[in-house]
Amino acid sequence: MQNFDFYNPTHILFGQGRIADLNQHIPADASVLLLYGGGSIKQNGVFGQVMAALGTRRVTEFGGIEPNPSYETLMRAVALVKRERIDFLLAVGGGSVIDGTKFIAAAALFEGAEPWAILEKRGNNVRCALPFGSVLTLPATGSEMNSGAVVTRKSLQAKMAFSSRHCFPRFSVLDPATTFSLPLRQVGNGVVDAFVHVMEQYLTYPVNAPLQDRFAEGLLLTLIEQGPQVLARPQDYAVRANLMWCACMALNGLISTGVPQDWATHMLGHELTALHGIDHAQTLAIILPSMLRIRKEAKRAKLLQYAARVWGLLDGDEDSRIAAAIEYTQDFFEQMGVKTRLADYDLNATHIAPILSALESHRMVALGEKRDVTLEISRQVLELSL
């Protein structure tokens, strides 16, 4: 096992009716900025519950944070924070609203000339951030219990990630009942995103970390079990609760302790979203199966473990077990309603060169757990995804 730091200060308030409890986690005299997306929280009753919990505190609203939050939108919120002397941020929504809030929290106190530098330095230059909490409405990203965020600068067609220990939410409310109103497309996206988060931290090479492996396999098995159930019974609270906790645990730092991490699938996926507006999880469903096929030799030991323990594949030669495990993975994404080929999103071979140029300009030329995913490997992965 490799050396590691494990630090996660986020207080999770889990369960039905827990939005009311945010009252105890925000200072009574706080001036709060309530951040949200396109308005789903005003249709499903979440907004009303949040406002009731905030009571008599001074609350300013900032809506309109779009999926794949843009720097341009977020900088308008930063100006509002400064103008209104806001001292606590409350994100109410999915990963985009929470990620956007992390950036606003850091940018509002950033001392450099241009907060885009936070993305350019991947967060290493963040010295402090405003305190913030979240009310999660879409289980997927894990943003509710981690310190990372992804921001898109539309004018540059750049989608970049940063993280900082100052950007953990103080608390996050996870009420599974808030997810009943999700469109099925977002439900499927959430399951796939969480699944691929686990794969990025698990499917690398063995380092004798059996506990982390079994945590990861437990998450994958639970997602495979519960995912189809949420599509069959969308009103089942227990299924919603299991998925919400899985997605949170998939990317809160626990399963990455002491093990190598890949993230090449995510880096290629970010370029697909930035250039073509494809949903984050859709990009992962396109890339992961090809990424595993192309890098089969480097990942052989873990692929065999995955085939056996997650898909129960014990018979046949090694290559056929690996091929079947990747096939089952791709079928699972399709079963969740997430298409897995570039052609499904109207992209063809002519779109590959611009994706590779974007990877190069973002210095994404040595990816993966061994930094051996070159532009040439990325090209092969994209070609296999057509």
96 binds, among Zn ion, ligand NZQ, none (CB under 5 to 8 A by kind): ligand NZQ
Rule CB under 6 A: choose which of 142, 188, 253, 289 binds ligand NZQ: 142
Site string for Zn ion, 145-184 (x = CB under 5 A): ----------------------------------------
Residue with tokens 């009574």: 28
Q: How far is the CB of 255 from ligand NZQ (least distance, A)?
A: 13
Cβ neighbours for 294, distance < 8 A, ≥ 6 positions apart: 377, 380, 381, 384
C-alpha separations of 366 from 106, 150, 336 in Å: 28, 20, 31
Residue of 319, 311, 262 whose CA lies nearest to 293: 319
**Which range in 9-17, 177-185, 331-339, 363-371 contacts ligand NZQ by CB under 6 A?**
177-185
For the chain, give the number of residues.
386
Residue 70 is given by DSSP the state: B
For ligand NZQ, the closer CB: 44 or 374: 44
- Rule CB under 6 A: is residue 49 a binding residue for ligand NZQ? no
326 binds, among ligand NZQ, Zn ion, none (CB under 5 to 8 A by kind): none
Structural tokens at position 229: 């159930």
CB atoms within 10 A of CB 76: 12
- CA gap 60, 82 in Å, rounded: 12
The residue whose Cβ lies closest to Zn ion is 193
For ligand NZQ, the closer CB: 172 or 212: 172
For Zn ion, the closer CB: 37 or 115: 37
Q: Is residue 129 helix, strand or coil? A: coil
Residue 367 is given by DSSP the state: B
- Rule CB under 6 A: is residue 137 a binding residue for ligand NZQ? yes
**Which range in 23-31, 80-88, 91-99, 164-172 contacts ligand NZQ by CB under 6 A?**
91-99
**Which range in 73-81, 159-167, 186-194, 346-354 contacts Zn ion by CB under 5 A?**
186-194
Helix intervals (H) in 29-94: 40-43, 46-54, 71-83
